[in-house]
Amino acid sequence: MKKILFSVLVALAAAIIPSAASAAEFFDTSAPENLMTLGVRLGVNTSNRNLNKDVFDRWNCNSWGTGVDVGVVANINFRDWFSIQPGLFYESRSGKFSYINLAGYDSNLNELLYTQYGRDRSYSLLIPVMACAHFNISDDIRWNVEAGPYVQLVLKNTVNGEFAIPEYAAGSQAVAGYHTVNSTKADFGIKFGTSLQILEHYSVGVHYEAGMLKPWEDATLGGRRKAWVFSLGYDF
C-alpha cells in the first residue's frame, strides 16, 4: 500500500511541476525586454450610427457599412504581462439609412409618406489608450486582452441622399416642415478586444468601439456610434 501511495504521489508531483512551470510562462511577471515598442496596424471595420426608434413613425433603419482603419501604436511595457498602448488611427466609416414617416393624408384619407434613404460616410482621427494584458500561449504565440478609452475627432462627414427630421405643428401631429440634421464633430467611447501576437512581430486582432456621446447635434435624436474592427499588425 505504501509503495502504491508513494507511486501516486510521485505521479502527481510529476504532473503538477510541469503545470506550474507552464503557468509561470503563461503569466510572466518579469521585467520586459524592451520598455517601448512601436507598431503599425491596418484593418477593415463595419460600423453603425443610429437614431432613437421613435424619430420616424413608420420606418427607421440604419444598416452597418464598411470602412478602413490605418494607424500606429506605441507599447509602453511596465512588466512582461502588462503594458499601456496609446495609438493614432485614421478611420473611415459608412452606413446606409432609410426613414419613413407619416406626412399627412390626401383628400381620400390615404396616408402620405415622406421617405428618405441614402448613404453616409465619415472620416476621422481615433486616439485610443488601452491597457493590455499579455499571456504566453507558447514561445511563438502571445494572447493579448486590451481595453481603454478613446477620443474620436470627425474630420469630414458626407451624406448621399436626403436626411431631414420632421417638424410638427404646435399642438398637432401635422408635419409643418423638415430641418436638416448635422453630425457632431467628436465622440468619446471605449475600445476593447483581443489579439494574437505571432513570432514577436506579427499580430491579428478584433476590437469593438462603443461610442458614448450622441452622434447628432440635436441630442433629442439619441443614437450612438459603434464599430467592429478587424486588423493585422506589425511591431518593430
pTM of the model: 0.83
Q: Is the pLDDT of residue 214 over 80?
A: yes
Classify domain 31-235 by CATH number: 2.40.160
Q: Which of 102-111, 123-132, 166-175 has the lowest mean pLDDT?
A: 166-175
Task: Provide the pLDDT confidence category of residue 172 given band limits of 50, 70 and 90.
Answer: low
Half-sphere exposure of 173 (CA within 13 A, CB side): 8
Number of helices (H), then strands (E), belonging to the chain: the values are: 1, 11
Residue ranges covered by each domain of the chain: 1-30, 31-235
pLDDT tens sequence across 135-153: 999 989 999 999 999 999 9
Q: What are phi and psi of 80, to 5 degrees?
A: -60, -30
